[in-house]
Amino acid sequence: MNQEVFAALNEALQRGEEVALVTIVSSVGSTPQRVGAKMLVYADGRTVGTIGGGCYENEAFWKAREAIKTRKPVTLKFELNDDFAQETGLICGGQMEVFVEPIEPSPEVYVFGAGHVGYHVAKTAQEVGFHVHVIDDREKFASTERFGDGIDVIVDHIPTWIEEHQLPPTAYAVIVTRGHTYDLETMRALVTRPLRYLGLIGSKAKIKRIFDALLEEGLPADALKGIHAPIGLDIGAITPQEIAVSIVAELIAVKHGKVTDPNAPAISMRWDGALAKR
């Protein structure tokens, strides 16, 4: 049974799908399943495997779906008493501990813009374990030779590429193109996508112009609430390297659930002056 669970887990990760693995980690007395029994729970409610059935499996199922959303593991303890025996028809009288572990694929970061900031964001994100893609229409900047091995570099018109590709809902999108027009086009193409993270570089004045333009085009105001703009944690970054560190730090914070409100003043960068060359 666990082989089926492991195979399903591997397939889910290959598809970029979030799941939770439920495992019996301790058992005392009479229980329906032994230590090590596993159940895989998908975000949409599908399951593979079992930890024994009954009301305790149902509770573990709902805790697993919650863990997928919060990305935080949880340990559950169950007393398998007479009520459980009556419900299931099993003779049980033990205790059981279950560990619920949310699992997601290696995070995918899409860096839109291969200029100075984009370069350092890509390199820094790769070093901390993100799977990095860089998209830009300039061959001079978007080259494998420049970025090195392990970073997927794509030369294409950014809005066209976005239209032709489906980003996973767990993806992180970083918009650091070479100018206002390109930032607007990229944001327009991404803003309605379900993404883990969407960030836009720029001063507050420039971001306001972009947001106003999108609203004038008919975009609902609620669609802008989840955007991290200006992008990055407030560490006083000035150089492209420092700005990249602030951006990747924010990606890590979102990954671990430390940043939940992209509009919190203490979190996002507040650059009012000119940015370093991108």
pLDDT, tens digit, 9 for 90 and up, residues 47-104: 999 988 777 888 899 999 999 988 889 999 988 765 544 454 444 557 889 999 999 8
Q: What is the model's pLDDT at position 2?
A: 84
Contact 250, 269 (CB under 8 A): no
- The span from the CA of 43 to the CA of 230, in Å, is 31
Task: Write the pLDDT tens digit of every residue in 181-219.
Answer: 999 999 999 999 999 999 999 999 999 999 999 999 999
Of 7-16, 23-32, 146-155, 175-184, the range with the lowest mean pLDDT is 23-32
Q: Supply the pTM of this predicted model.
A: 0.75
* Domains delineated in the chain: 12-103 (no CATH), 108-255 (3.40.50.720)
The token pair at 40 is 């895989």
Average pLDDT over every residue of 215-239: 93
Q: How many CA atoms lie within 13 A of 58 on its CB side?
A: 5
Q: What is the model's pLDDT at position 224?
A: 92
CA nearest neighbour of 230 among 211, 258, 253: 211
- How far is residue 267 from each of residues 69, 227, 252, 259, measured CA to CA in Å? 22, 13, 13, 8
